[in-house]
């Protein structure tokens, strides 16, 4: 695959030189062919402006959930007044005792540590002058716990010591837990040293750092790392066991999706493999082809004539405990036949190298990953008339990438965000210039010095009665027409469902996808697995900056996800278009299918 990539980063637009055996045929039809190529090829080529990439899946990001017990919190809905209003709230430390206090007023948090006391005091002010009850005491405890949790210190004990409350003074003992002993289980300490997790004996537990460390430790899909906390020997101390579970260090998979285009076949069949050859290095490869690549005239027969073939690889290499280098390369070949005489053959080669590092290593109070790297891309397009190449053009892209990626939870759900700024200064590669792209795109792109932003946001919100809402937002923002490799389609299984990829290629886009899932906890015995039906509603807006034409697509539909263990996953959905697209009229239905099996 990498050889295929390297041979394509070369010269820009040119006419094809034909061999001697073709000269006589071209001589007889030269004038007619050239006229047809000029008159017909641009319109046909204009349809091939979206690069369909089929990369190996990224290693799954398992949530490093930290479960904190709340057994020491008073749980009560008893609002019966205890005969006095709250005059003061006093938080005491581990070794202090609740002493009778009279005449105290306000909030006293001088004895606690590990938190912004001003914020904590502000949260507790609302309880003053309320009638004291068991319910109010429980709410005060919960408010203190929430303040510590938001400060990244969820490992805290908040108890109600014996006390006299007749004066209206409520005292709570607050003990932030500290690390006692750290042990590694399931792996040799020299192979997985405890220092990979930033826990220091004698110090309080910073949940944000812990979540970051567990997140990075679990980016190897063939290993699971957990932090198990147990009571220590002393008050306010906890022992930590780092549990490492190794899995089979390789995986093979195969699948199908009807996500292709009309001219390159709707069917996509793929096979792939991934493995961890050593340490935390993870490599993967995927081969994807149209139906005629796999099935016409035998396996792999005449792959150069297949309607669609993609070879893609991914290599993830650690550069440190919380820094990695990801190299991705792919080569896509398409053969589109707009009519029986013309064939448009397009080869797209892409390679990227992205360094990812935990932002908290640079700025301690921050979260997520900082991204930076380069992307190199090359497109070669050949127009073939009646089996004879008559024209050929190529163009390149070389651009810098910086961005941020992160995920977080709030009281209503979980969030993920990936935002990237890309800048193409021009040059670097021979075809990365305005002239090459102007010829290649028939005048649509006249300036390759572009800056643009991509954004992907996702959210899962649990709802009552076993429902959950999955929302996704995709944004492409540019001030200039973009090269074909950077544009996106408004329609398709990964955009506005119910449409196809050909329904609009744009330079600016805003796509919103919503899926309302229902859980089915008890599956019938004859159907082992999990079934998750859903309703969907999508809308997308895009703008072609060259033609100054706006497009809006919207759809509704339904479907289901079905999984049998960890080895089989599938999705089936049907959606109807609410607005007209270039290839999908309003009111039409489209069915999308995805299925994969792995071992």
Q: Residue 154: which CATH number? A: 3.10.20.310
Last residue of a domain, one of 188, 211, 246: 246
Residue 199 domain-assigned (yes or no): yes
Q: Is 140 inside a domain boundary?
A: yes
d(CA 331, CA 328): 11
Confirm if 517 and 571 have CB atoms less than 8 A apart.
no
Q: Flag whether 74 is in a domain.
A: no
Domain-located, residue 232: yes
- Return d(Cα 359, Cα 215) in angstroms, integer: 13
**pLDDT at 305 exceeding the cut of 60:** yes
The answer on 158 and 95 residing in a single domain is: yes
- In this structure, how many other beta carbons lie within 10 angstroms of the beta carbon of residue 32? 10
Give the C-alpha distances (Å, rounded to integers) separating 310 from 272, 416, 420, 568: 11, 28, 25, 23
Residue 587: burial class (beta carbons within 10 Å; 0-12, 13-18, 19+):
exposed
- What mean pLDDT comes out for the span 149-153? 83
DSSP three-state, residue 148: helix
514 HSE (CA, 13 A, CB side): 11
Name the band, by pLDDT with cuts 50, 70 and 90, for residue 10.
very low
Q: Tell me, yes or no, whether 160 and 229 share the same domain.
A: no
> Which of 142-151, 275-284, 395-404 is most confident?
395-404
- Supply the pLDDT for residue 66: 54
At residue 311, does pLDDT exceed 90? yes
Comparing CA positions, the residue from 329, 375, 334 lying closest to residue 349 is 329
**Position 248 pLDDT exceeds 50:** yes
Examine residue 80 and state whether it is found in any structural domain, yes or no.
no
* Predicted local distance difference test score (pLDDT) of residue 36: 47
Q: Is 298 exposed, middle or buried (0-12, 13-18, 19+ CB in 10 A)?
A: exposed
Query: Using CA atoms, how far apart are residues 203 and 195, in angstroms rounded to an integer?
Result: 14
CA atoms lying within 13 Å on the CB side of residue 467: 9
C-alpha to C-alpha distance for 403 and 357, rounded to whole angstroms = 11
In the chain, count H helices and then E strands.
7, 25
Q: Which tokens hold the place of 331? A: 């080569």
pLDDT of amino acid 576: 98
* C-alpha span between 96 and 111 (Å, rounded): 9
Instruction: Count CA atoms within 13 Å of residue 263 on its CB side.
Output: 24
Domain end: 161, 176, 191, which one?
Answer: 176
Q: Are residues 164 and 185 in the same domain?
A: no
Residue with tokens 């007023």: 105
Q: What is the mean pLDDT of residues 384-406?
A: 94
Residue 118 lies in a domain: yes
Q: Is the pLDDT of residue 40 over 60?
A: no
Average pLDDT for residues 434-453, to the nearest whole number? 94
Predicted local distance difference test score (pLDDT) of residue 98? 72
Cα angle 68, 412, 141 (rounded to 5 degrees) comes to: 45
Bigger pLDDT: 597 vs 93: 597
Do β-strands 413-424 and 369-385 pair in parallel, antiparallel, or remain unpaired?
A: unpaired
Q: Give CA–CA dist 4/304, Å, rounded.
A: 13
How many CA atoms does the CB half-sphere of 450 hold within 13 Å?
A: 27
CA distances from 234 to 68, 71, 95, 230, 237 (A): 19, 18, 12, 12, 6
Same-domain pairing of 124 and 187: no
Pair (112, 165) in one structural domain: yes
Most confident of 67-81, 285-299, 385-399: 385-399
- Encoding tokens for residue 333? 């070949």
Q: Are 187 and 160 found together in one domain?
A: no
543 φ, ψ to 5°?
-140, 130
pLDDT at 346: 94
> pLDDT over 70 for what percent of the chain?
88
Q: Which pLDDT band, with edges at 50, 70 and 90, does 595 fall under?
A: very high
Residue 241: is it exposed, middle or buried by C-beta count within 10 angstroms (0-12/13-18/19+)? middle
Average pLDDT in the 53-60 region?
90
Average pLDDT, the chain: 86
Q: Same structural domain for residues 170 and 96?
A: yes
The answer to whether residues 212 and 322 touch, using CB atoms and an 8 Å cutoff, is: yes
- Chain centroid offset of residue 388 CA: 43
234: tokens are 């002393």
Domain of 172 in residue numbering reads as: 88-176
Residue pair 80/133 in contact (Cβ under 8 Å)? The answer is yes
Please give the helix or strand (H or E) that residue 122 lies within, else none.
Answer: helix 117-124
Buried b vs exposed e over 255-286: b needs ≥16 C-beta within 10 Å? Answer: bebebbbebbbbbbbbebbbbbeeebebbbbb
Q: What is the pLDDT of residue 177?
A: 87
On whether both 101 and 168 belong to a single domain, the answer is: yes
Q: To 10 degrees, the CA torsion angle through 116, 236, 154, 239?
A: 140
Same domain, 126 and 93: yes
Does the structure show a pLDDT above 50 at 30? no
pLDDT at 103 over 50: yes
Instruction: Judge whether residue 17 has pLDDT over 60.
Output: no
Which range among 68-77, 111-120, 234-243, 493-502 shows the weakest confidence by mean pLDDT? Answer: 68-77
Residue 10 inside a domain? The answer is no
* pLDDT score recorded for residue 369: 96
**What per-residue confidence (pLDDT) applies to 44?**
40
End-to-end CA distance of the chain: 24
Per the structure block, which two tokens stand in for 184? Answer: 């590694």
- Range 225-251 average pLDDT: 86
Residue 185, classed as helix, strand or coil, is: strand
pLDDT of residue 12: 44
277 Cβ contact partners less than 8 Å away, ≥ 6 residues apart: 283
Could you give the CA distance from residue 487 to residue 400 in angstroms, rounded to a whole number? 17
* Mean pLDDT, range 217-224, rounded to an integer: 88
Residues 153 and 123 in one domain: yes
> SS3 for 209?
helix
- Number of domains composing the chain: 2
Regarding whether 187 and 157 lie in a shared domain, the answer is no
In the predicted structure, residue 29 carries a pLDDT above the cut 60: no
Residue 39: is its pLDDT beyond 50? no
Q: Are residues 96 and 172 in the same domain?
A: yes
Question: 176, 210, 236 — which closes off a domain?
Answer: 176
| CA gap 289, 154 in Å, rounded | 49
Does residue 285 form part of some domain?
no
Residue 460 reports pLDDT greater than 60: yes
Task: Give the model's confidence band at 299: pLDDT under 50 very low, under 70 low, under 90 confident, else very high.
Answer: low
Secondary structure class of 125 (helix, strand, coil): helix
């Amino acid at each position: 695959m990498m050889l295929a990539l390297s041979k394509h980063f070369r010269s820009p637009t040119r006419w094809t030189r034909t061999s001697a055996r073709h000269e006589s045929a071209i001589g007889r039809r030269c004038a007619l062919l050239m006229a047809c190529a000029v008159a017909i090829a641009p319109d046909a080529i204009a349809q091939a402006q979206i690069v369909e990439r089929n990369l190996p899946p990224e290693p799954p990001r398992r949530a490093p959930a930290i479960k904190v017990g709340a057994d020491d919190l008073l749980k009560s809905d008893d609002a019966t007044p205890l005969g006095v209003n709250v005059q003061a709230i006093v938080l005491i430390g581990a070794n202090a005792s609740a002493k009778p206090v009279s005449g105290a007023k306000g909030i006293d948090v001088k004895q606690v540590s590990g938190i912004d006391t001003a914020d904590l005091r502000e949260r507790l002010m609302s309880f003053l002058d309320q009638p004291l009850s068991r319910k109010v005491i429980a709410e005060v405890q919960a408010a203190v716990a929430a303040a510590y949790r938001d400060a990244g210190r969820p490992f805290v004990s908040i108890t109600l010591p014996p006390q006299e409350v007749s004066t209206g003074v409520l005292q709570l003992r607050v003990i932030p837990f500290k690390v006692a002993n750290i042990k590694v289980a399931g792996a040799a300490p020299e192979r997985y040293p405890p220092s990979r997790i930033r826990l220091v004996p004698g110090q309080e537990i910073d949940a944000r750092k812990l979540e970051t460390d567990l997140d990075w430790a679990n980016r190897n899909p063939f290993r699971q790392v957990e932090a198990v906390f147990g009571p220590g020997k002393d008050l306010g101390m906890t022992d930590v066991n780092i549990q490492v579970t190794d899995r089979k260090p390789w995986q093979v998979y195969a699948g199908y999706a009807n996500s292709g285009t009309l001219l390159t076949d709707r069917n996509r069949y793929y096979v792939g493999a991934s493995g961890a050859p050593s340490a935390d290095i993870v490599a993967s490869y995927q081969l994807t082809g149209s139906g005629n690549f796999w099935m016409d005239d035998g396996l792999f027969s005449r792959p150069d004539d297949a309607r669609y073939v993609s070879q893609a690889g991914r290599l993830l290499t650690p550069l440190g405990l919380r820094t990695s280098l990801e190299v991705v390369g792919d080569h896509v070949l398409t053969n589109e036949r707009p009519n029986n005489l013309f064939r448009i053959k397009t080869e797209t080669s892409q390679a990227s190298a992205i360094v990812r590092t935990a932002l908290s290593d640079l700025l301690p109070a921050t979260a997520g990953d900082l991204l930076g790297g380069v992307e190199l891309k090359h497109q070669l397009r050949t127009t073939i008339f009646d089996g004879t190449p008559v024209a050929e053009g190529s163009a390149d892209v070389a651009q810098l990438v910086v961005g941020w990626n992160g995920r977080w939870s709030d009281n209503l759900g979980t969030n993920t965000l990936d935002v990237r700024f890309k800048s193409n200064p021009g040059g670097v590669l021979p075809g990365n210039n305005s002239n090459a792209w102007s010829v290649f795109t028939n005048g649509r792109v006249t300036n390759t010095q572009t800056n643009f932003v991509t954004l992907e946001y996702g959210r899962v919100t649990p709802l009552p009665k076993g429902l959950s809402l999955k929302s996704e937002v995709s944004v492409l923002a540019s001030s200039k027409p973009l090269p074909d490799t950077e544009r996106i389609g408004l329609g398709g299984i990964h955009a506005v469902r119910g449409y196809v990829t050909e329904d609009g290629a744009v330079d600016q886009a805003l796509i919103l996808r919503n899926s309302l899932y229902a859980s089915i906890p008890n599956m019938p015995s004859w159907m082992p697995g999990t079934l998750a039906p859903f309703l969907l509603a999508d809308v997308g807006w895009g703008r072609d900056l060259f033609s100054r034409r706006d497009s809006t697509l919207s759809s509704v539909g339904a479907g289901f996800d079905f999984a049998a263990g960890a080895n089989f996953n599938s999705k089936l959905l049907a959606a109807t278009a609410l607005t007209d697209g270039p290839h999908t009229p309003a009111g039409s239905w489209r069915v999308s299918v995805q299925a994969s099996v792995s071992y």
